Chains A and B, each alone.
Chain A
Amino acid sequence: MAGNSGSNGEMYYHDSVVRFLVMCSLVWIVLGMSAGAYVAAELIWPGIDFGQPWLSFGRLRPLHTNSVIFGFGVSALMATAFYSVQRTCHIPLATPRLAWATAILWQVGILTGGLSLLAGINAGKEYAELEWPFDIVITIVWICFGVVFFATIAHRRIKQIYVSNWFYGGLIIVVAMVHVVNSLAMPATLFKSYSIYAGAQDAIVQWWYGHNAVGFLLTGGFLGMLYYFLPKQADRPIWSYKLSVVAFWAFTYSYIWAGPHHLHYNAIPDWVQNLGMVMSLILLAPSWATMINGIMTVSGAWKKLRTDPALKFIVLSLAFYGLATFEGPMMAIKSVNVVSHFTDWTIGHVHSGALGWNAMIVFGTYYFLAPRLVGAELYSVRLANVHFWLALAGTMLYILAMWGAGVSQGLLWLSLDHLGEPSFSFKDIMASMPPYYLLRLIGGLTFLTGAVLMIFNLYMTMRGRETLRVRPPEVGSVREST
C-alpha cells in the first residue's frame, strides 16, 4: 500500500521469471504425460518394462503423478501467481531474486526428486512419495514462494486484495500446512525414513493431506488462475463479487474435512468416515457457486467463444470442473463408494479433473499469456483450435474408458453367485480390461499430441522475442476492477 508512493519511473513487472516457469511447466507436461502414457501401455503390455527396475510400473507411476502435479501444476501456478499478483497489486514482485531462487530451486528439487523415485527411493505415501530430504527442500522453497507472494501483496498500491490472490494465498498456506504435518518422519538413513504416524492414524493424516493437496493445489490454486485470467480474457468483470466471497470461505472451510472419503469402509472410526462423507456433499455448494460465477462472467461474451481459443479452453475447463466437483461428492457417498473404491473409476475421476480442468485451464491461460509476454500475436489460432478438439476428445475417451472399466470392476468384484461365493475370479475380471485400457491409452496419447502442438505454437510465438517490459499503471490511475 504505502512505501512506493510517487512516480514508478523505472519500475517494471518481473516477467522473465514468469516466462521461465511457463517453459519449465511445458517441459513437465511432456515428461509427466509421456510417463503416464507409458505406464498406461504397461497395463496392456507388461513386458515393455524390459526387466528394468526404473521402467517398472511401481516406480514410473509415482514419477508420472509427481511430474504432472508438482512439476507441471506447481510451475504453472507459480508462473501465473507471479504474473497476476504484480498486476493486481500494481507493483513489481517485491523480492525478484527470491522469486528466481524459488523458481529454479523448485525445478531442481522436483527433477532430482523424480530421479530418486526411479531409483526406488520412496516414502510410500501416495502423492507424498519423496523422501525426507526432498520434503525439507519442498518446505523451504514453499516458504520462499510465500514470502515473494505475500511481500508483494504487502507492498501493493491498491487497497483491496483481489480475489485471485485469496486463492493463491490459500494454496500457499494450506499446502504448507498439510505437507509439513503429513511428511513428519523419523529419518533412518539419508534416503530412508519412517512416518511418525502408524496404521490407521497414518491413513487419516495421509488422506487429510492427499485430499487437500488436490483441494488447495489442483482446485484452489487453479481457481486463483481462473479468477484472474477468465475476466481478463472475457474482458468482463467477475459476475458476482458477493458470490466469490462466500464461495471462497465456504470452500476453504469445508474442503479440509473431506479427506476421510478416501477411507470409506476401511479400518478407521465410522464417525470420521461419516463426517468426511457429509462434508464432501456440502462441498458441492461452494464448488458449483464458483463454477456458476465463472460461467456467468463469460455470459455476454459468448460470441468471443467462436474465435478465441484461449477463452474456449477456459470455458471448457469450467465445464469439466463442474463435472469433477459433482462426481467427487457422489463418489464420497458410502453406497456409491462401495462400487467405485479401489477401481479405475477413481483414476477416471482424477483425470476428469487433471486433464479436463487443470490442464485445460493452463492451456487457455498460456494462449492468453504467451503472446502478451512478448508482445506478439499467437503464431497460429488454427493450430490452437486443433489442439482444443484433440484435448476434448482425449479427455472424453479417457474418462469414458475409465468409467467403463471402473464400474465393471466394482460390480463384478461385489457379485456373488447362488451359493454366496464370488461369481468371478479377480484374474478373469482383469482379463476383460485390455479394451478399456487401450481406449484410455489412445485418449491419453491424443491429449498429449494436442499439448505438443501447443508447445510448438507457443515456441513459434515467443521464439527470438524479448520478454516485454511492462510498467505498472501510474499512481492514481484506473483501479483494477474487481
Chain B
Amino acid sequence: MSGLSLHQKLENNAALLVFGILFVSAIGGLVQIIPSLTQDSLKTPARNTRVYSAVEPVGRDIYIREGCSVCHSQQIRPLLAEVKRYGPYSRAGEFVYDRPFLWGSKRTGPDLHRIGGKYSDIWHRVHLIDPRAVVTNSIMPAYPWLAERPASAAGDIQANLRALQRLGDPYADADIEAAPGQLEGLLEVDALIAYLQMLGVGFDAGASDDDGAGH
C-alpha cells in the first residue's frame, strides 16, 4: 500500500498536513475564480447600463439594509416562463456596478430585476408603507419608517461614492460634490423608489445578441 504509506507522512507531520489541505482545497477555487475575474464579458457594461447616480445608490443601500434581497431575486433566468413573467432574462453586463450583487437565492416575493417602470411612484410608496393596501394577502413586511427618515440620514453619501470611486466605478468628483444636494427634501422611501424605478429599464433587447425569448 504505497498510497497509504505516503499518507502516513501526512499524518505524522502537522505542517505537511496543513499544506496538503490548503493545496488540495485551493485548486477548485483557482480554476473557477481566476478566469472569471479576468473575463472581459463579466465586467463590460451592457449597452445603457450606467452607474447608480445621486439618489439611486442611497436607495440601493436601503434595499440592502432592510434585507430586501432575502425575499426578492434580481435574476431572470433564460427560461420561457420567467421571460414571460418578468421580461428579458438577465445579462452579466447589467450588473457590473453592483457591489455587492443582489441576485438573491429565494423568491418569497417576485423577481425585481425588471421592476423599473412597471408601477407608478405612488403605487410603490403606498405598497412599501402598507403592502396589504394594494396587494391583498401579501406577506411583505410594512416599512413605515422609510417615510419618516430623511434620505440623507441613510448613510454618508459622499464617503460611499468615494469608496465606489476608489474601486474604479466611474464617478466624477463633481458628481460626488453635488450628491448631498440632490438628497435634500427627500425621504428614504423616495430614494428606494428611485432605485426600484431604474432597475432593468436600461436594457435594450434589440441591441443584444438575441431576442430575449430564452434559449
User: A315-344: which have CB < 8 Å to B?
Assistant: 338, 341-344
- Contact in complex: A346, B90 (CB < 8 Å): no
- Contact in complex: B98, A342 (CB < 8 Å): no
| Of listed B29, B33, B164, residue having the most chain A CB within 10 A | B29
Closest B residue to A264 by beta carbon equals B77
- Contact in complex: B104, A56 (CB < 8 Å): no
- Contact in complex: A252, B25 (CB < 8 Å): yes
User: What are the interface flags for A178-216 relative to B under an 8 Å C-beta threshold, 1 for contact and 0 otherwise?
Assistant: 100100001111001111111111111110100000001
Complex contacts, B85 vs chain A, CB 8 Å: 413, 422, 426
- Contact in complex: A199, B98 (CB < 8 Å): yes
Complex contacts, B122 vs chain A, CB 8 Å: none
- Contact in complex: A208, B167 (CB < 8 Å): no
- Contact in complex: A159, B12 (CB < 8 Å): yes
Complex contacts, A202 vs chain B, CB 8 Å: 98-101
Q: Within the complex, what minimum Cβ distance (angstroms) separates A180 from chain B?
A: 12
Complex contacts, B69 vs chain A, CB 8 Å: 124
- Contact in complex: A265, B79 (CB < 8 Å): yes
Query: Are A194 and B99 CB-contacts (below 8 A) given A126-B105, A166-B17?
Result: yes
Docked pose: A420 CA to B101 CA in angstroms: 31
Docked pose: A187 CA to B33 CA in angstroms: 23
Interface size class of A (residues with CB under 8 A): 35 or more
- Contact in complex: B155, A253 (CB < 8 Å): no
- Contact in complex: A252, B42 (CB < 8 Å): no
User: What are the interface flags for A63-106 relative to B under an 8 Å C-beta threshold, 1 for contact and 0 otherwise?
Assistant: 00000000000000000000000000000000000000000000
- Contact in complex: A346, B106 (CB < 8 Å): yes
User: B4-45: which have CB < 8 Å to A?
Assistant: 4, 7-8, 11-12, 14, 17-18, 21-22, 24-29, 31-33, 36-37, 39, 41-43
| A386 CB–B CB distance under 8 Å | no
Contact of A194 among B84, B108, B145, B163 (CB under 8 A): B163
- Contact in complex: A199, B96 (CB < 8 Å): yes
| A358 CB–B CB distance under 8 Å | no
Contact of A188 among B94, B96, B131, B163 (CB under 8 A): B163
B59-67, B177-185, B189-197 - the one binding chain A: B59-67
Q: Within the complex, what minimum Cβ distance (angstroms) separates A3 from chain B?
A: 13
Contact of A420 among B43, B84, B98 (CB under 8 A): B84
Identify 13 residue pairs between A and B in the complex whose beta-carbon atoms are under 8 Å apart, listed by A's number: A43-B139, A51-B144, A123-B64, A126-B105, A150-B14, A188-B155, A199-B98, A200-B42, A201-B37, A267-B94, A267-B95, A275-B32, A276-B32
